[in-house]
Amino acid sequence: MASKKTLLIALFCSLPLFAQANGQVNENFCLDQNNQKEFADLLAKNLADTRIVQLVALRQGLCELLGNQQLPLATAVDIWAHERQKILLERTKKRLNRLKQKTD
C-alpha cells in the first residue's frame, strides 16, 4: 500500500501547471483560480516537505514570469515538466529502495 507521502507526491505531480494536447500548449493553469487553490492547500498541508515547497515555489515563479510576459509558455512547460519528473524519479527510487530493504 502506498504511503501518505507517496500519494501526496503523486497527487501534486498530477496537478497541471499547463495543459498540453498533442505536444501543443493550449492552456495556462496559472490563471485558473481552482488550480491555484489546490496548490495553496497542498502547500499548507505539507510545509515540512521541502520538495513540495520547492515545486510550489517554482510554479509561483513560473506563473509570475508568464504573467509579466518574461517567459514563453512553452519554456515554462518544459521547466515544470523537467523538475516535476526529477522529483517523481527521486521519490520512486527512494520508495523502491525502502521496499528492497524490507525484502532483504
Whether residue 98 lies inside any domain: the answer is yes
pTM value surpassing 0.85: no
Whether residue 7 lies inside any domain: the answer is no
15 pLDDT above the threshold of 60: no
Whether residue 94 lies inside any domain: the answer is yes
Whether residue 10 lies inside any domain: the answer is no
Contact between residue 62 and residue 17 where contact means Cβ atoms under 8 Å apart: yes
Whether residue 11 lies inside any domain: the answer is no
Q: Residue 57 is part of which domain span? A: 20-103
Whether residue 12 lies inside any domain: the answer is no
Cα three-residue angle 68-73-74, rounded to 5 degrees: 150
> Which pLDDT band holds residue 21 (cuts at 50, 70, 90)?
very low
Cα three-residue angle 52-41-44, rounded to 5 degrees: 65
Domain count, the chain: 1
Q: How would you write 7-57 as a 3-class SS string?
A: HHHHHHHHCCCEEEECCEEEEEHHHCHHHHHHHHHHHHHCCCCHHHHHHHH
Whether residue 56 lies inside any domain: the answer is yes
- Residue-wise pLDDT tens digits, 52-86: 899 999 999 999 999 999 999 889 988 988 998 89
Whether residue 55 lies inside any domain: the answer is yes
State the residue for C-alpha cell 500519494.
7
